[in-house]
Amino acid sequence: MREDEGMTRYLVVPQWQGSPSSRAMQLIDGAQAIAGDLPRASTTVLDVPMEAGESLGTGIHRLSALQRVRGMVAQALDAHDAAAPDEPVLTIGGDCGIALAPIAHAARRSPGLAVVWIDAHPDLNSPDSSPSGAFAGMALRAVIGDGDPGLALPAGTIAAERVVVGGARSFDDPELELVSERGIAALTVEALRDGDALADAVLATGADAVYVHIDIDALDPAEIAGNAQPEPFGVTVAELTVAVARLRERVPLVGASLAGYSPASVAAATDDLGAILRVIGALA
């Protein structure tokens, strides 16, 4: 059985400590609202600590809390492997930092892994270049082994040449320089509207398996209200789900994550669930 043919398990990680937003703690409400609509028997919700944590002398705010949660996620994934090794896991956040441990986990299973990062922001800052000190804006940089060793994946785990950024439309200058210098593929929103472009880009990396991370701010703000950092002119739910479906037809999906749902209130948390569950359905 291919790994993307088993029943999907869901790991919900309501981490807020990596977010730059003043609405960061509403990521907890978003994650819990999504969890409420997932199959209970297939869903694990981690008890993320509430404390902010310390920077520990680095340029990463709340680093100690982020390290603790990453350890919790890794432990949960290891426990899942022991119980159901053939069932893929979809990790749901929280902020984009929740993808680090699942990507490392997927890379151990599939050394030829490519990472697709679909996000309005490419998350390629370093602790030195970040304007906010928020780890969510550094998460993909950490995936390729750059950044504080307390969070970054070991160098060589994921080569920059096996990363495909999709739908990003708000780059900082250091991020643009890194994309050019390191050979990171970047698909515009317009490119993603071609249903085969994402799969073509992944196959061009030479990868034999793929991990897909989606921040819901990749979607156009008209598609979803619960977005603390809206950027205009994003993809539609239909365009995104077609791109993911075409990718899965051509490359085995060995892991995925979805992050960034930040509803304005607990009462509003259910408003966007129809759109979010369609995206989850494409990944699961």
When pLDDT is averaged across residues 215-236 and rounded to a whole number, the result is 95
Q: Please tell me the least confidently modeled range out of 2-16, 64-78, 127-141, 208-222.
A: 2-16
- What single letter denotes the amino acid at residue 51? E
Tokens encoding 32: 């819990």
Checking if the pLDDT of 2 tops 80, the result is no
pLDDT tens digits, one per residue of 113-123: 999 999 999 99
**Mean pLDDT over residues 156-163, rounded?**
97
Query: What is the model's pLDDT at position 1?
Result: 27
Q: For the residues 32-40, what does the mean pLDDT come to?
A: 96
pLDDT surpassing 60 at residue 160: yes
Mean pLDDT on 81-104: 94
Residue 249: band (very low, low, confident or very high) from pLDDT cuts 50, 70, 90: very high
CA 97 to chain centre: 7
Give this prediction's pTM: 0.96
Q: What is the pLDDT of residue 11?
A: 98
Query: How many whole angstroms separate alpha carbon 58 and alpha carbon 76?
Result: 27
42: helix, coil or strand? helix
At 148, the pLDDT band (50, 70, 90 cuts) reads confident
CA distance 270 to 143: 31
CA distances (Å), 172 to each of 111, 137, 265, 270, in order? 30, 10, 30, 32
Evaluate the omega torsion of the peptide bond into residue 94 and state whether it is cis, within 30 degrees of 0.
yes
Note the pLDDT of residue 6: 57
Question: Which of these, 188, 181, 190, 168, lies nearest to 118 by C-alpha position?
Answer: 168
* Per-residue DSSP letter, 147: S
- pLDDT surpassing 80 at residue 4: no
Alpha-carbon 82 to chain mean position: 24
Percent of the chain topping pLDDT 90: 88
